[in-house]
Structure 1
Amino acid sequence: MFEPPLLLASLSGQSDAEWALAGSEHAGGAILGGIALDAAARDAARKLVARGRDEFLPGDPLAFVDRELAALEDAPLRAGFNVRSATLEPIPEAARICRDRGALLEINAHCRQDELRAVGCGETLLRDTERLCRYVGAAAETGATVGAKVRTEVPGVDLPSLCVALEAAGASYVHVDAMDSEAVVADVVEATDLFVIANNGVRDEATVREYLAYGADAVSVGRPSDDPVALERVRRAIDRLAERPSAAEP
């Protein structure tokens, strides 16, 4: 899906094309966004901004997705976009843009801010498998490569079973924020044939080794994604564990 198996994970209001390019020396992929697509999600994002969070709020979110992906057309990594929506309608439109740009489309079933959950975005989708699968299916029908960003430790959610449903709906990958339940990655790997990206706490060889031991196909770096020292450390760890020459080597 991308090589090396290190992904820069989206940070709302920060992860744009410039951010991806800055980390492209070390990573094989970068998920931009998240971006709120519909009116309800955008209203929620404005409330987040009002209380001090960073959010992307361009006048035309779909044009923003296209413009940012176009800026990465010649970048040495595979790009993608993490999207939020309270309704199905804009999902296929975003997926077609990603398809045409050779990018990944990632449905956000991850964010847990109250404002987003109140309108049915983010983590709320983890509790609504049918709606999340409709989003994934509608995106996959466009021919885009589709995945979902999910999290562990959500009461009442059996993540491996959910991932089985996502795969049946047309997902190609799942991006798992493991929280403090890293072993769930192994359960997802065992239950599905999805490409599994493990996220949370990836900082050094020990954390990379743990996730790869659980069967993850790749790891992602979130908050340190703008720290070249941290990225180089993780990339070197990946290359050592894969027993291949590192791009970071002199």
Structure 2
Amino acid sequence: MMDAFERFGLLINDRVVRTPVAIASMAGIVDAGYVLERADHIGIAFIGGYSIDGPTMDAARAIASSGDRKEFIYDAPVIELKSQIDLMAKSDVIPGINLRGSTPESFSTIARTLGDRIVYEIDAHCQQPAMIAAGCGEFYLKHPEKLLAVIRALKSEGVTVSVKIRAGVADDDRTLVGELWKAGADILHVDLMDFGTAKLRQIRNACPLVLIANNSITTFDRMKDMLSHGADLVSVARQSDIRTLAGLDAAITRYAEEEGWYNAPKQLCRGGDIRSLTFCCMPVKECPLIPALTRIGMPKETYIRMKLEAVRGTQLDTGKQTCFGSLSWCCKTSSPCMFRDMTLKQAGISRKEYMRLKRDLSDMIMSRVFHDNTQDETS
């Protein structure tokens, strides 16, 4: 049995994520008690949403008084949040708090008081009119400069920042997520609404943030679809019952131990995201690789040199009988290839280990793309 980091390779807030299954916040419902009941089957949980200043607490009271939905109502945000965080410390679940605030100072004050043991999630997702009028939730997606200011305020306190957004609300999701990354956000938590995997791929191709996909992801098939289009984790909200969470956790654990790379992307020619460059061959013919390299601003020669340098001295630096003389150019194990498989057998590399090596190569490619190149992904 692999340990959690070997299996998934996920670190959040300097802690190993046990499983890429998360609980998303639901106002008035998801608190520490809710999380602890489900702790055996999740890796991270976002409690809340919690209102943290006058305007948002007034909005929460107005929403609750209407009787349409629940809210967390309290007079002392810091005391309540500290109590909830202390309770969550009884589990191995990484704690996150989904916060509704109307100013950067509201967020930085909370972070300064509670410290860096938790993930601070900015609620840029709520669509309740009262919250939007208070200057939070979807308000931030229509006024991204204010959202960026909140991120910077939190990062000035040295904490890990997640941003929860709703796809399709901002003028351009790709531009937005790139700006969130550059402002210092660490995690992007996306309610995909009805957009599906095409939107997820666009977002993955626009930023290197830890990406959590949300919206009706309650079966392993749907979970695997999200992971293969760019997600690092998936989150569940309304259907976060123990049976659903346990099923997702068990299925992805088994899949990771069998396949080696739990969220391996589809190949680029089959609709894969930018991570799938790890599986692409040399750019010697007209195929989706050529326009993909153009969009990320990487010359073909740079791509070739980058992959060859990355695998030099590694187990992927072999395979003279493969199509291009190196496993660095070989495809995913789900695609049949006798030359790749023959090389793996001769080199004593299991298919699972091969996929893990490809994951390492993908991580390096992502770093090069986002730190050394200007890119404008549009597909």
Normalising by the smaller structure, the TM-score range is over 0.9
**Alpha-carbon RMSD:** 1.5
The Cα shift of 1:3 comes to 2.5
1:96 aligns with 2:131: no
Which of 116, 122, 127 lines up with 1:107 in the alignment?
Answer: 122
Moved over 4 A (4+): none
With 231-240 and 12-21 compared, the bigger mean Cα shift is at 231-240
Deviation at 1:40, TM superposition (A): 0.6
> What is the distance in 2 between the residues matched to 1:186 and 1:95?
32
Within-5 A mapping of 1:30-179: 30-52=45-67, 53-100=69-116, 102-154=117-169, 156-179=170-193
Paired with 1:97 and 1:66, the residues of 2 have a C-alpha distance of: 9
The one-letter code sitting in structure 2 at the alignment partner of 1:122 is G
CA distance in 2, matches of 1:238, 1:189: 20
Question: Equivalent residue for 2:242?
Answer: 228
The partner residue of 2:31 within 12, 16, 33 is 16
**Structure 1 unaligned spans of 5+:** 245-250
TM-score normalised by the chain length of structure 1? 0.93
Structure 1 CA distance for aligned equivalents of residues 37 and 137 of structure 2: 27
| Deviation of the 1:24 alpha carbon | 0.6
| Maintained 8 Å contact 1:209/1:241 | no
Counterpart among 194, 208, 217 of residue 193 in structure 1: 208
Provide the C-alpha distance between the structure 2 equivalents of 1:97 and 1:197, rounded to a whole number of angstroms. Answer: 27
Q: Using a 3 Å threshold, how does the CA distance of structure 1 residues 20 and 207 change in structure 2: closer, same or farther?
A: same
Kindly name which structure, 1 or 2, has the bigger radius of gyration based on alpha carbons.
2
Q: CA deviation at 1:97?
A: 4.4
Higher strand residue share: 1
Does the 8 Å contact 2:105/2:153 carry over to 1?
no
Q: Structure 1 CA distance, aligned partners of 2:152 and 2:255? A: 35
- Distance, in Å, in 1 between the alignment partners of 2:109 and 2:30 is 21
Gaps of at least 5 residues in structure 2 are 1-11, 259-379
The share of aligned pairs that are identical, in percent, is 35
Relative distance call for 1:242 and 1:99 in structure 2 (3 A) is farther
C-alpha distance after superposition, 1:201-244 (max 9, x if no partner): 1101111011001110000010122x111111221232233236
Aligned counterparts of 2:34 and 2:210: Cα–Cα separation in 1: 24
In structure 1, the residue corresponding to 2:239 is in which secondary structure? Answer: helix
CA distance in 2, matches of 1:138, 1:105: 11
Q: Distance in 1 between matches of 2:114 and 2:210?
A: 18
> In structure 1, the residue corresponding to 2:88 is in which secondary structure?
coil
Distance 2:188 2:104 in 1: 19
Contact 1:7/1:218 (<8 A) preserved: yes
Q: TM-score, normalised by structure 2?
A: 0.62
Secondary structure of 1:122 counterpart: coil
- 1:5 maps to 20
How many residues align? The count is 242
Which structure would you say has the larger RCO, counting Cα contacts within 8 Å and 6 or more residues apart? Answer: 1
Partner of 2:195: 181
**Residues 167 and 192, structure 2, Cα contact 8 Å, conserved in 1:** yes
Secondary structure of the residue that 1:50 maps to in structure 2?
helix
